[in-house]
Structure 1
Amino acid sequence: MTMTATKSWVGLAVLALPCLLVSLDAEVLYLATPQLTADLRPTSVQLLWIMDSYVFVVAGALIAMGVLGDRIGRRRLLLAGAGAFGAASLLAAFATTPGQLIAARVLMGLAGASLMPSTLALIRTMFPDPRARTVALGVWSASFSLGGIAAPLIGGVLLTHFWWGSVFVLAVPAVLLLLTLGPFLLPESRDRSATGFDIAGALQSLAAVLLFVYGVKQLAASGWHSVPFLTIAASAALAVLFVRRQRRIPQPLLDLTIFRNRRTTVALIVNALSFFVHYGSQIGVAQYLQLALGLSPLQAGLWTLPSVLAYLAASFLGPLLTRWIPAGYVIATGLAAIATGLAIMAMGGLTNVITGAIVFSIGLAPAYILTTDLVVSTAPPARAGMAAALAETGCELGGALGIAVLGSLMVAVYRHAAAPALTAFGLPPDATFGEAVATAHTLPSRAGELLLAEAVPAYTSAFTTMAIAGAILATAVAAAAAIALRPARRSPATPTPRSTTLAEQAGSEVLAAVAPAESAARPAMPA
């Protein structure tokens, strides 16, 4: 291994730090919620914004931050964003009012949005070899799982011995290490031909994504009424205006020519739909384990660890398989595993749900890593940050839509089955499963048992319906991916070139046969 290669792999360990930060932050905040609520006493609306404002801002700012990294330098943006993330974390840790904490979470979201596109774009620069880059993306993805595994232990220890704000202070040492090592181990890269930044387009994209995510979350929480639809309609109108603007200006925020590559477009769709079923099913799994099976939050959390470990192992399995199997077929197989996992979950019971979650995670890891590799690798090097941000935005939007659609499906099936029993026990027909379980625990033992005897099977039926619907969707996407991402056939009369174009070299080995017209549509630009 050369000195340059060694430096790249050591630099990859540095790039894993922001990923750990993001996954740790998401997990430990849930653990700190009881103490935080007792200390700051937020209203229900304020608590919702404390939990969700970070996600909203990250989803909305990803594209703008990815393009900003292309303009000013990905390493520069990564280090600046990490420093801002650490400072905002300290503000959150020492917040004395709910408003201060919400403001700090918004700042953390803006800083966090700069981390993911920058890390992915730098991996593209640091690992020009397709095989090495795919392995590097496996390490990058696995770091999220490590954060998820470490969060309950680290968060539990901190909350046992310190105040709730200590979970935010946790980010500071990692930020300091990144700021110390990053300038020496990470290369700088940017689009040297770009001379401006589309501020108006950035604001349009931010508003469009924020309104969309807010609308689908309201749809999931409140059901089908006018506010979510008006919000989503406004998001769609802004998105149309954004696209029209990008077509007209000389240096657009979003390079629409990336969609001329059919493989890239399909990869973006597959990525989004994978997280559609992932996020949409995870809420159902959590409620099923705790409310239907009666597990405590700690027990339910421990039972999710096998699927996290499976995702961690599969993060390296996908890149390994591409040495012998075209990546498009590995992606399709991963989607088929997602469908199989959901089908197993649909059978119900603790064993089936946990087994299904493990199979699901084994399929999700290679599907996510290889589609992300495809999107980032086939974009022009100068627009790597934009491509990375587009992939991550697709995950966020797909996940939000999955929660709304699959969550609404579960609610509809549950209410249809449970409404007569709910009204018989004095509950409104639209009462949630959680409300039914809570009410059952307050009733005399016999009455509580009768209510649960109606509510639990109704929720189990809703959970089964959701899992089957997700399995059908994943199966359809797997079939489409197998067709659309299959290796292109070379004509026997066409000799194999001794060297490839930069766009072809950037692709994973399944994409080594990108059509000449597609390559011409994406001219290589100096990084």
Structure 2
Amino acid sequence: MQEAASPLYAILGNRTKALALLAIMLPVLLVTIDNTILNFALPRIAVALNPSAAGQLWMIDAYSLVLAGLLVTMGGTGDRVGHRRMLFIGCGGFAVVSLLLALSVHAWQLICGRALLGIFGAMILPATLALIRSAFSDREERRVAVAVWATCLTLGSALGPLLGGVLLQFFDWPSVFLVALPFLLPVLVLAPSLNETQRQPGGSADYLSILLSLGAMTGVMLALKHGATTGIDLQALLLLVAGVGLGLLFVRRQFRLEEPLLDLRLFRNTSFSVCIAVNLVSLGLLIGFIFFATQLLQLVFGMAPLAASLILVPGQVLAIIAGMAVVPLARNVAPNRLLAACLLLGALAFAVMALVQASVVSVCVAFVLLNISVAAITTVSNDLVLSSVPAERAGSASSVSETAYEVGVVLGTTLIGGAVAALYRLSLVLPEGLSDEATRAAATLGGARTVSSGEHAAALLQAADAAFREGVSLTSAAVALTVLAFALLTLRCLRSPS
């Protein structure tokens, strides 16, 4: 740890580098916090704005869908116009839209605002990782800066529920949007002093490629979400075919362009390709776990939002430690072995949820294991991503890496959350004598609680809790086995970059 700390002390001891690190890390924290913070505020927003059920889903998903769809575009654009400029524009736009969202009086305003946040968030994330390369020329300092960046990326997603619980304990729902201002205002002051990245010569962005990229990402994600929530039907298949078709057109166009939006030759590097896959899987595990863990803590165990968020604090603290402590290990341990070991730790976290009866303690322990795993993975994989590409392609490489994270966010909620919900419905044994309305409402854990009154209340709650525990246990077992197989694949395929 002392070896890892020396470059960190060198950074913190240099005022210019310390301020550069601060300007890069604050927006990373905010953009990833926004992935999860809204979940805690959604019940109050539903009361205040009265959105439809579909509207509530779009409030959550609009941000991640747009963010994931535009990350590659914004990374390539930043390579051309400069990532410092992209960071400044992104942070300014994010701050203005966040302020307007706090003033929303209609559900459609909130949905559109969340989509706009996704656009500006897509400007921010690739810029931050690319600016690390221009701000820290020393390899060891850059490795530590990447470790801090990776820790912020992991910590932000985990911190969202905690921050949401604290804010809603004392303030109303607009506070979850106003929290963006103290994160971004210092960045707007410090960003002009950052070293601009090396620009890649080229003309303007190819707008058809942008549309094809956004359409492909959106189509595939909507297909997966629809299939997980309502089943595989014609609509899901049409969305999937449309997304894959647009994706193939995007790939074909990139190979034909002299100056492609995304240089697909990056994927010829095995280290780069494997690290992108590991990034996607790791954040999907984290977000999927948070999705069902918050329901366990609040609905099954009956904890208040603030108390439930505090259960996650040990994992968040150890994520910070793990993200930094893995730096000296990365110097001495082969990356395939290190990443495979981290994936095994993530598989162990889900094995705990599968094999041990769900309780506050088991959720806390599993979250600790998972956070250590994801924090270490993020540090190692992103250092490999930056090291495996030329300097002028850092923005494109980082945008692909961050796209994997945002796809992981959607897939974690869709696949893991969808599996838990589907298994809950299959395992649910309702007491006899329920009304049709109560039977329909009991199809979700939250719905079962809204109709749990009268003579069947106790039996309904007991059945719903048991079914949800069963869904969590079976899903966790499947996830643990899948991650175990993926860890073995990583061990075999990953090689250190030259």
Question: What TM-score does the superposition give when structure 2 sets the normalisation length?
Answer: 0.89
The structure with more radius of gyration: 1
For 1:219-257, what per-residue CA distance to the aligned partner results, in whole angstroms no more than 9, with x for missing partners?
233233222222122100000000000011100011111
Does structure 1 conserve the Cα–Cα contact (< 8 Å) formed by 2:284 and 2:409?
yes
Partner of residue 264, structure 1: 272
Which of 384, 407, 412 lines up with 1:397 in the alignment? 407
Does 2:324 align with 1:313?
no
Does 2:453 align with 1:442?
yes
Letter in 2 for 1:179: L
Partner of residue 282, structure 1: 290
Report % sequence identity.
Answer: 34
CA distance in 1, matches of 2:166, 2:291: 26
3-state SS of 2:183 partner = helix
Partner of residue 216, structure 1: 224
CA distance in 2, matches of 1:256, 1:151: 33
For 1:468-519, what per-residue CA distance to the aligned partner results, in whole angstroms no more than 9, with x for missing partners?
1111111112112222225xxxxxxxxxxxxxxxxxxxxxxx53xx2xxxxx
CA distance in 1, matches of 2:425, 2:123: 41
Does structure 2 conserve the Cα–Cα contact (< 8 Å) formed by 1:145 and 1:309?
no
Of 355-364 and 317-326, more deviation after overlay is shown by 317-326
3-state SS of 1:354 partner = helix
- Describe the shift of the 1:408–1:49 C-alpha distance in structure 2 as closer, same or farther (beyond 3 A): closer
3-state SS of 2:430 partner = helix
For 1:93-121, what per-residue CA distance to the aligned partner results, in whole angstroms no more than 9, with x for missing partners?
22333333333222221111110000011
Does 2:407 align with 1:406?
no
3-state SS of 1:187 partner = coil
Runs of at least 5 residues in structure 2 that lack an aligned partner in the other structure: 1-9
- Describe the shift of the 1:261–1:170 C-alpha distance in structure 2 as closer, same or farther (beyond 3 A): same
Partner of residue 382, structure 2: 372
Partner of residue 100, structure 2: 91
Runs of at least 5 residues in structure 1 that lack an aligned partner in the other structure: 487-509, 515-527
Partner of residue 42, structure 1: 51
Matching of residues 25-104 of structure 1 within 5 Å: 25-104=34-113
Matching of residues 188-199 of structure 1 within 5 Å: 188-199=196-207
The Cα shift of 1:376 comes to 2.6
- Describe the shift of the 1:355–1:430 C-alpha distance in structure 2 as closer, same or farther (beyond 3 A): same
CA distance in 2, matches of 1:227, 1:251: 35
CA distance in 2, matches of 1:251, 1:104: 32
- Describe the shift of the 1:238–1:197 C-alpha distance in structure 2 as closer, same or farther (beyond 3 A): same
Does 2:445 align with 1:433?
yes
Which of 119, 122, 133 lines up with 1:113 in the alignment? 122
CA distance in 2, matches of 1:456, 1:176: 44
CA distance in 2, matches of 1:469, 1:149: 23
CA distance in 2, matches of 1:102, 1:174: 22
Does structure 2 conserve the Cα–Cα contact (< 8 Å) formed by 1:148 and 1:308?
no
Matching of residues 132-171 of structure 1 within 5 Å: 132-144=141-153, 147=156, 164-171=173-180
- Describe the shift of the 1:205–1:289 C-alpha distance in structure 2 as closer, same or farther (beyond 3 A): same
The Cα shift of 1:43 comes to 3.2
Which of 234, 246, 251 lines up with 2:254 in the alignment? 246
CA distance in 2, matches of 1:266, 1:195: 31
Which of 354, 362, 370 lines up with 1:352 in the alignment? 362
Partner of residue 322, structure 1: 330
CA distance in 2, matches of 1:369, 1:211: 30
Does 2:490 align with 1:481?
yes
CA distance in 2, matches of 1:120, 1:167: 25
Does 2:199 align with 1:187?
no
Partner of residue 3, structure 2: none
- Describe the shift of the 1:423–1:62 C-alpha distance in structure 2 as closer, same or farther (beyond 3 A): farther
For 1:24-48, what per-residue CA distance to the aligned partner results, in whole angstroms no more than 9, with x for missing partners?
4445434444444444333333333
Which of 200, 208, 212 lines up with 2:208 in the alignment? 200
Does structure 2 conserve the Cα–Cα contact (< 8 Å) formed by 1:422 and 1:431?
no
- Describe the shift of the 1:143–1:262 C-alpha distance in structure 2 as closer, same or farther (beyond 3 A): closer
Does 2:312 align with 1:301?
no
Question: What TM-score does the superposition give when structure 1 sets the normalisation length?
Answer: 0.84
Does structure 1 conserve the Cα–Cα contact (< 8 Å) formed by 2:151 and 2:379?
no
For 1:64-87, what per-residue CA distance to the aligned partner results, in whole angstroms no more than 9, with x for missing partners?
011110010010111111111112
- Describe the shift of the 1:130–1:425 C-alpha distance in structure 2 as closer, same or farther (beyond 3 A): farther
- Describe the shift of the 1:250–1:43 C-alpha distance in structure 2 as closer, same or farther (beyond 3 A): same
Does structure 2 conserve the Cα–Cα contact (< 8 Å) formed by 1:345 and 1:354?
no
3-state SS of 1:442 partner = coil
Does 2:378 align with 1:382?
no
Letter in 2 for 1:305: V
CA distance in 2, matches of 1:266, 1:356: 25
CA distance in 2, matches of 1:45, 1:406: 20
- Describe the shift of the 1:389–1:156 C-alpha distance in structure 2 as closer, same or farther (beyond 3 A): same
- Describe the shift of the 1:167–1:466 C-alpha distance in structure 2 as closer, same or farther (beyond 3 A): closer
Does structure 2 conserve the Cα–Cα contact (< 8 Å) formed by 1:274 and 1:364?
yes
The Cα shift of 1:305 comes to 1.8
